[in-house]
Each structure stands twice: as C-alpha cells, then as structure tokens.
A and B are shown apart, each in its own frame.
Chain A
Amino acid sequence: MRLVRPGDMVVFVLAAGLVGASYAYFWGPRAEGDTAVISVGHRPVAEISLLEDATVPVEGLIGDSVLQVEGGRIRFIDSPCPGRYCIHMGWIDRTGEVAACLPNGVVVEIRGGHREFDAINL
C-alpha cells in the first residue's frame, strides 16, 4: 500500500493553491493613505498631505527631524538620534504604517484610505 495516492497529490496541489491565494488576497496590495499625522510625544502636531511633495522639518524633543514627502510617500531624511532607525525605516505609504524616531519623540503615521491594521506585531 503506497503512502501517497494520486488523489492525495490533487488535494495537496489544491491546498497549496489555496495557501498561495490566501497570501495574495490577505497580504496583497494594500490601500495607500493620503495624509500623514506627525506627533511629538503623544501630541499630534501636524497633519500633512502626501499629495504634494515637500520637505518638512519637525521640532522634536532633542532637535529637528526632517521629513520628506514625495510621490505619496513619506520618510525621515534626517533626525538627531544616535541610531538613525527612523531613516533606515525608509518610505512608508500604507494606511496605518508608522515611522518613528523614539529618541526625538517624533512619530509619523499614515492616515486616510482604507485602514487595515491598527497594530502590527512582528
């Protein structure tokens, strides 16, 4: 008696297809947000549109962070923090995505469009 029969392979292929489809469906292209809310500490200080390209300085707790808006995306291009994690985060453009410079207390969150997550736990 063979362990795997022809029908088993069919079921396996269907199941694998279903898994692939679930990745495409649930993790596929997400809605792009159209504004970014900038907070310092817990206080929102500005809400800026992502439709206009701009360079925005933000006064934080230990100095000025500089944000760049381009083509519907936003990123940190400078910040007075030691690790520069905020800059390495790179561009964010999906609703709910967050880039933060914790030493400087500056947090940028994308708003608008269809919100998919309110927390991402990695």
Chain B
Amino acid sequence: MTVSAPDAASSPDREDHLVAGFAALAIAIHILEAAFPSPMPGVKPGLANVVTVVVYLRYGIRTAAWVAMLRVLVGSMLIGTFLSPTFLMSATGACASLVVLGIVGSLGRYLVGAVGLSLAAAFAHMAAQITVAYLVFIPHPAILSLTPILMTAALIFGSVSGLIAASVDGLLRSGDGRGK
C-alpha cells in the first residue's frame, strides 16, 4: 500500500481499505484491553479476536490474516511490546488461531458458526502461547501447571467472543440486506 503514482498495481483497492479499517478497529480494541489489569499474565478476554472472526466469516482467511497480523504488529508497537516476549507470544498465538480458523471454517459454514470458530481459535491461541512460554521462555513444569486455568479462560472468553462475533455478523448481514 505505497503512496506513489496512482497506477493500478500500487493504489489501494477495496480490499486494502477493508483490511485497514478492520485492522484499525482491532488495534483499538487490543489497546483498550491492554489497559485493563489482568488477573493473571496471559489471561485476557481477547475481544480483538471478534474482529478477526467476523472478518473471516465475511471476507475469508486472507483478509482475516491481514487484519490479525496488522493488529499484532501495530498493537505491539503502540503498546511498546514490539519484539518482546509478549509480542512473540501474541504473534504465535495469532498464527495458530488463523490456521485453526482456516481448518475449522472449511468444515462447513452452516455447521460451525462464529461460536465454534471463536472457541477453536481461542484454544489454538492458548495452546500456542503455552507452548512458546514453556519452550522458549520458562522451561519449567510450573508453567504447564497453569494450563487448566488458561484453558478454562479460553473456554469462557472464546464462547463470549464467539457470541459477540455471531451477533455482529448477524447484524452486518441484515444491514447488507437492507442496503441492497
């Protein structure tokens, strides 16, 4: 998305605008969330993932990946954790949840909706983070003993985000219907 001669190859197209808009929304949520105190490192609602799931449902995995990656990158720069352990964990978590989104999403849109996608993504996110925390930062069994708590958090927050994503997606769909 370079700003130069307005030829077709380099000028932002519709998808670029979409990605930028959704990424900005996700980054705002990400930063708002970072401002809230967390009961435990690694436990936070992950409401920014609502954006990822909604974008995935509406525009597919490519756009969702752009939005998620931009969120992690820009969010970490704004919060000040770029290239820190937090950044590595968040990037790995985002990658893992995108992969799982793609897999679970391909099972059939009418079978698995936003809640299932969000739950699966939350678990992938958590599993990737625990793995990175254990293998890279603190190779001590005590980290693994946190797994049940973190998984419980993933279950609760994944379901909540999923319900939010499902209703947002529903509202957007009905909005589409009226627009046409």
Residues of chain A whose beta carbon lies under 8 Å from any beta carbon of chain B: 1-8, 10-12, 15-16, 18-19, 22-23, 25-27, 116-119
Contacts and interface: CB of A to CB of B under 8 A. Distances in A.
Interface stretch (B21-29, B84-92, B113-121): B113-121
Given A7-B108, A7-B113, A8-B162, A15 B142 contact: no
A53 B3 CA distance: 81
A76 to B, nearest CB: 26
A26 B148 contact: yes
27 contacts: A1-B170, A1-B173, A2-B113, A3-B114, A3-B166, A3-B170, A4-B163, A7-B108, A7-B111, A7-B113, A8-B116, A8-B162, A10-B112, A11-B104, A11-B115, A12-B116, A16-B155, A22-B151, A23-B148, A25-B147, A26-B144, A26-B145, A26-B148, A27-B148, A116-B141, A116-B145, A117-B142
Nearest to B130: A22
Interface of B: 104, 107-108, 110-116, 119-120, 123, 141-142, 144-145, 147-148, 151-152, 154-155, 158-159, 162-163, 166-167, 169-170, 173
> Which secondary structure dominates where chain B touches chain A?
helix
Contact of B112 (A5, A23, A25, A26): A5
